[in-house]
């Protein structure tokens, strides 16, 4: 089923470009004094918002591939009423294969929007703040967007912080930062100015966290209660920051939603990508500074070609900023005192594989072939038999989604939770999201990203994913947004209507199962599947090293 070999980053990126609706008229225009100057925000639904707040200088020209610089002070009052520019994204051209003549059109993605994204620019270091008041000291929920390390924006309507700020009494921050080749090209071999180039996208996140530390009290936030959280690529950034030396002390709790990054690029792999980048641009190493003048689209095209077969551009274990893999072989000591919540959705991969109408009539033979691609040819029959026995009433499409999800997202999340718990310091908490969406006749079951509107309590902005806003759905959103906010507030998740949520350990393995009509605690959730997939080891084990000649590298799921 070659038509099912979708480029996952582009499916997700195309959907999470949910730009905000037009700005509403406001009743007042609050002004806040920051370290760089005064900002004028807006008020809507009793919540103050400040959008497009610059935290760093433009990153183009002589700023390319260099660490970010704090935004220079400005005179007067700067309007903070609209979202700032998005980071330049990876080009789509040449990624998707054309649909074969006569083949059925793919199903519409449940992660999509007809709204245009904010414009892209190398002047992209902006953040957004929502707060109930500029007085007081509230916990801060600092969100990093999904899209792998390649695409996305903090300006999605799904990420609007109004409801969280108003109903949970927290301060919400979302950010933009450098992505793909501009954020993660390893050029360290070509001179001191590029010593940190392999993770300047993460340094952008650190600079935004430093902005929060320096300024958030002026927005009614508590700089000593900052929770970083993110979904998919955002969860992977959270995982990296847990091991990232410059981020130490800038956050105090963390949540990884469907993005457990155990390993990332090793030095040899990232160095090869950097070498290929210069070769594609026909720039000799001695003339590396010519990169400052390369047109942006040419740079992005070269970046796509240079990384082809080696996985996406992402942070590098460089021995200094990122001294080790984020969660391999164990949890990083630098964040031992930070409690961590981790979780996944039951059929994450349905949002990618389920767009193909052929999945609805998947034969047993075709299912086994797909299972072999995710596990091994030698054991495909065994895996097929286990899932058929566990779920005799499930159709083959759902079985495929579960196998593919369990092999990547689910296994890696349990390994991350297990390693954090084994550290014996701050607690780990685990959740499993099981709420099935009714959209498109329920064909996606529990897809990747469906939990985001529940966490942000923005169901009305995500009907293409969650369906109608029913009382049961809203009750679940109240519980999840409340649990995340309580975790930010105290380091222990919980909310009215939820059972007591115990910390994770490798014996009982308790998980909060978020579901309708009632959430519950379940020990060793999907234990048989976890044990089966653990026998293969994490997919990430082979994705951080340079592939042998003739072989292709790959990515962990986005």
Note whether residue 430 is domain-resident.
yes
The first and second tokens of residue 464, run together, are 């293409």
Note whether residue 480 is domain-resident.
yes
Looking at the 3D structure of the chain, how many domains does it have?
Answer: 1
318 contact partners, CB below 8 Å, separation of at least 6 = 186, 188, 196, 198, 199, 267
Tell me 148's DSSP state.
T
Structural contact between residues 352 and 6, judged by C-beta atoms closer than 8 angstroms: yes
Rounded Cα–Cα distance for residues 360 and 382 (Å): 23
Structural contact between residues 184 and 88, judged by C-beta atoms closer than 8 angstroms: no
Phi, psi of 415 (to 5 degrees): -65, -40
CATH number at residue 164: 3.40.50.1820
Q: Per the omega criterion (within 30 degrees of 0), is the bond before 240 cis?
A: no
Strands (E), 35-88: 37-40, 42-44, 47-54, 77-79
Note whether residue 84 is domain-resident.
no
Burial track 181-211 (b if 16+ CB lie within 10 A, e otherwise): bbbbbbbbebeebbbbbbbbbbbbbbbbbbb
Which of 152, 167, 187, 175 lies closest to 64, judged by CA?
Answer: 187
Note whether residue 76 is domain-resident.
no
Note whether residue 75 is domain-resident.
no
Note whether residue 65 is domain-resident.
no
Per the listing, tokens 């997202």 go with 409
Q: Per the omega criterion (within 30 degrees of 0), is the bond before 517 cis?
A: yes
- CA 101 distance to own-chain centroid: 35
Note whether residue 225 is domain-resident.
yes
199 catalytic? Reply is no
The catalytic position among 232, 258, 270, 307 is 232
Structural contact between residues 128 and 174, judged by C-beta atoms closer than 8 angstroms: yes
Which of 90, 263, 292 lies closest to 190, judged by CA?
Answer: 292
Rounded Cα–Cα distance for residues 15 and 3 (Å): 20
Helix (H) or strand (E) holding 483: helix 471-490
Which of 309, 324, 319 lies closest to 546, judged by CA?
Answer: 309
Per the listing, tokens 């953040």 go with 127
Note whether residue 67 is domain-resident.
no
Phi, psi of 413 (to 5 degrees): -65, -40
Angle, to 10 degrees, between the axis of helix 296-307 and the axis of helix 267-280?
A: 130
510 contact partners, CB below 8 Å, separation of at least 6 = 430, 501, 502, 503, 504, 521, 522, 523
Domain that holds residue 417: 1-60+123-558
Tens of pLDDT along the chain (558 residues) come to 333 433 343 334 334 444 444 443 334 689 999 999 999 999 999 999 999 999 999 999 999 999 999 999 999 999 999 999 999 987 655 545 667 787 889 999 999 876 777 899 999 999 999 999 999 999 999 999 999 999 999 999 999 999 999 999 999 999 999 999 999 999 999 999 999 999 999 999 999 999 999 999 999 999 999 999 999 999 999 999 999 999 999 999 999 999 999 999 999 999 999 999 999 999 999 999 999 999 999 999 999 999 999 999 999 999 999 999 999 999 999 999 999 999 999 999 999 999 999 999 999 999 999 999 999 999 999 999 999 999 999 999 999 999 999 999 999 999 999 999 999 999 999 999 999 999 999 999 999 999 999 999 999 999 999 999 999 999 999 999 999 999 999 999 999 999 999 999 999 999 999 999 999 999 999 999 999 999 999 999 988 888 877 777 766 555
Phi, psi of 393 (to 5 degrees): -90, -5
Rounded Cα–Cα distance for residues 276 and 254 (Å): 35
């Amino acid at each position: 089923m070659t038509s099912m070999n979708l480029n996952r980053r582009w499916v997700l990126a195309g959907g999470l470009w949910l730009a905000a609706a037009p700005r509403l008229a406001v009743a007042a225009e609050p002004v806040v004094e920051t370290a760089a100057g005064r900002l004028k925000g807006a008020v809507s639904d009793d919540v103050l918002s400040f959008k497009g707040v610059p935290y760093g200088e433009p990153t183009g020209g002589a700023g390319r591939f260099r660490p970010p610089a704090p935004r220079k002070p400005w005179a007067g009052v700067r309007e903070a009423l609209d979202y700032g520019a998005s980071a330049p994204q990876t080009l789509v051209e040449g990624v998707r294969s054309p649909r074969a003549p006569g083949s059925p059109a793919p199903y519409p993605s449940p992660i999509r929007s007809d709204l245009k994204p904010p414009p892209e620019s190398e002047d992209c270091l902006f953040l957004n703040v929502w707060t109930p008041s500029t007085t007081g000291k509230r916990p801060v929920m600092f969100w990093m967007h999904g899209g792998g390390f390649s695409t996305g924006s903090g300006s999605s309507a799904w990420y609007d912080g109004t409801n969280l700020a108003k109903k949970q009494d927290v301060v919400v921050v979302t950010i933009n930062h450098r992505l793909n080749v501009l954020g993660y090209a390893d050029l360290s071999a070509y001179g001191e100015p590029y010593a940190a180039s392999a993770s300047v996208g993460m340094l952008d996140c650190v600079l935004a966290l430093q902005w929060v530390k320096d300024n958030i009290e002026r927005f009614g936030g508590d700089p000593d209660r900052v929770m970083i959280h993110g979904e998919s690529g955002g969860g992977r950034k959270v995982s990296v920051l847990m091991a990232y030396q410059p981020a130490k002390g800038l956050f105090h709790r963390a949540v990884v939603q469907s993005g457990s990054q155990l390993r990332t690029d090793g030095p040899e792999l990232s160095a090869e990508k950097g070498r290929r980048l210069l070769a594609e641009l026909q720039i000799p190493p001695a003339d590396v500074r010519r990169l400052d003048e390369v047109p942006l689209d040419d740079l992005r095209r070269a970046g796509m070609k240079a990384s082809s077969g080696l996985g996406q551009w992402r942070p590098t274990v460089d021995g200094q900023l990122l001294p080790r893999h984020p969660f391999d072989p164990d949890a990083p000591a630098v964040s031992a005192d930070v409690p961590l919540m981790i979780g996944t959705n039951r059929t994450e991969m349905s949002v990618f594989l389920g767009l193909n109408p052929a999945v609805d009539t998947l034969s047993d033979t075709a299912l086994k072939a797909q299972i072999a691609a995710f596990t091994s040819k030698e054991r495909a029959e065994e895996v097929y038999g286990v899932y058929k026995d566990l779920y005799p009433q499930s159709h083959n499409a759902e079985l495929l989604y579960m196998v593919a999800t369990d092999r990547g997202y689910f296994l890696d999340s349990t390994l991350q939770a297990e390693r954090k718990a084994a550290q014996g310091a701050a607690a780990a908490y685990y959740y499993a999201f099981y709420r099935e969406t009714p959209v498109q006749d329920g064909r996606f079951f529990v897809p990747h990203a469906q939990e985001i509107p529940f966490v942000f309590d923005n169901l009305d902005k995500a009907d293409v994913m969650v369906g109608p806003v029913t009382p049961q759905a809203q009750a679940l959103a109240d519980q999840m947004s409340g649990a995340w906010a309580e975790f930010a507030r105290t380091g222990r998740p919980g909310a009215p209507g939820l059972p007591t949520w115990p910390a994770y350990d490798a014996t009982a393995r308790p998980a909060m199962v978020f579901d309708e009509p009632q959430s519950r605690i379940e020990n060793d959730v999907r234990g048989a599947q976890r044990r089966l997939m653990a026998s293969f080891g994490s997919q990430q084990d082979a994705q951080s090293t340079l592939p042998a000649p003739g072989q292709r590298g790959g990515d962990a799921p986005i």
